[in-house]
Amino acid sequence: MIDLRSDTVTRPTPEMRQAIATAEVGDALIDVDPTVDRLEKTTAEILGKEAAIFMPSGSMTNQIAIRIHCDRGTEFICDDNSHVYNYEQAAFAQLSGIVTRTVPSHHGVIELEQVRGLIRPINLHFVRTTLICLENTHNRTGGRIFPQEKIVAICDWAHQNGLATHVDGARLWNAAVATGVSEAELAAPFDSVSVCFSKGLGAPVGSILAGSREFIQEAHRARKLFGGAMRQSGILAAGALYALHHHRDRLAEDHHHARILGEAIRQCEPLSILGDDIHTNIIAVSVDPSWGTAAQFVATLKQNGIDCFAFGPQSFRLVTHLDISIDQIREACEIFRRVAEQSPVVGAA
């Protein structure tokens, strides 16, 4: 099976397993785990932030960032296709008593003009607006890169109006490789940034939240509250640290594979690429209703050897990663051509 469901399905390489097996560890809660400490300091330096904290997941790093930036009973602004709004069970409301105000995005990008005027007036009837949260790269719209000049404009406006800024940068590494802009520059406009190690970088577990020293001190308290404090977590951090040092540059290979696959999909009559172009390692594909539904197309792909996810009635997602070879990509291209030529009846699930 050619598994294109997500870049989270990657397995540790033999070299990463060795790094994990030999990791120096300590109690990261009551003292210091030396491997976790190295990972946090290294990542903070790469991101150009004062400090960082290691956590089990990107959902936790996002939710803790939102909790710290927003008082209970306040609101934050995000786009209606964002991960924090769609895929984290509205944890900001359940766990922290915070509400959100969504903005419709165009392929994951919102414009400064859309957020001007969204800050609530100071009035006893209104919720207070405290944060704007962006996503780069953007998951639901096919791994698209948020243009840096638009990010700078929005964050400058936010800071001028007293709002904090956070970026869900789970795949910020992909944006840096694709654009040639450093992670530090991409993260600079934001007060806090979340990055993930268990996607394209291929580590088994872990994300980091980075920001000012004061912010990260508060994040330590929130992580304990959320149940995310760990003991000998250097075993996990070792995989992330290995990935950070060895797997960032190779993300360009995943992007190349995605472009090859995307070009084959463009030549399949019932299919089209959402947003037309492919920025990184995610391909969002639309199925013409004349063929059938996305669920039917995905089911037929699985029968022919490709596993992927439908995320809408007529759309599905493919994600390239380090466990997918160029030979598998070429095979996948042939499978797509074959399935696309089938009738909707054959493709019905």
User: Is residue 346 over pLDDT 60?
Assistant: no
pLDDT score at 348: 47
Distance CA 310, CA 339 (A): 16
Average pLDDT over residues 136-152: 96
Average pLDDT over residues 155-172: 98
> CATH 3.40.640.10 region(s) of the chain?
7-246
User: Is residue 135 over pLDDT 60?
Assistant: yes
Between strands 315-319 and 309-312, the pairing is: antiparallel
Distance CA 167, CA 67 (A): 14
pLDDT score at 349: 45
Of 155 and 346, the one with more pLDDT: 155
Please name which of 126, 192, 135, 184 lies closest in space to residue 159, comparing C-alpha atoms: 192
Kindly report, residue by residue over 252-304, the tens digit of the pLDDT: 999 999 999 999 999 999 999 998 899 999 999 999 999 999 999 999 999 99
Q: How high is the mean pLDDT of the chain?
A: 96
% of residues, the chain, pLDDT over 70 = 98
pTM, two decimal places:
0.95
Average pLDDT over residues 117-134: 96
Average pLDDT over residues 213-231: 97
Of 230 and 342, the one with more pLDDT: 230
Kindly report, residue by residue over 61-82, the tens digit of the pLDDT: 999 999 999 999 999 999 999 9
Q: Please give the CATH number for the structural domain made up of 7-246.
A: 3.40.640.10
User: Is residue 50 over pLDDT 90?
Assistant: yes
Q: pLDDT-based confidence at 347, cuts 50/70/90? A: very low
pLDDT score at 344: 64
Kindly report, residue by residue over 7-28, the tens digit of the pLDDT: 999 999 999 999 999 999 999 9
> CATH 3.90.1150.10 region(s) of the chain?
250-341
pLDDT score at 342: 87
User: Is residue 345 over pLDDT 80?
Assistant: no
| Helix ranges (DSSP H) in the chain | 14-21, 34-47, 58-69, 83-86, 91-96, 112-115, 148-160, 172-179, 183-187, 213-225, 234-246, 251-266, 294-303, 326-340, 344-347
The domain 250-341 is placed in CATH, from the list 3.30.70.20, 3.90.1150.10, 3.40.1710.10, 3.90.850.10, at 3.90.1150.10
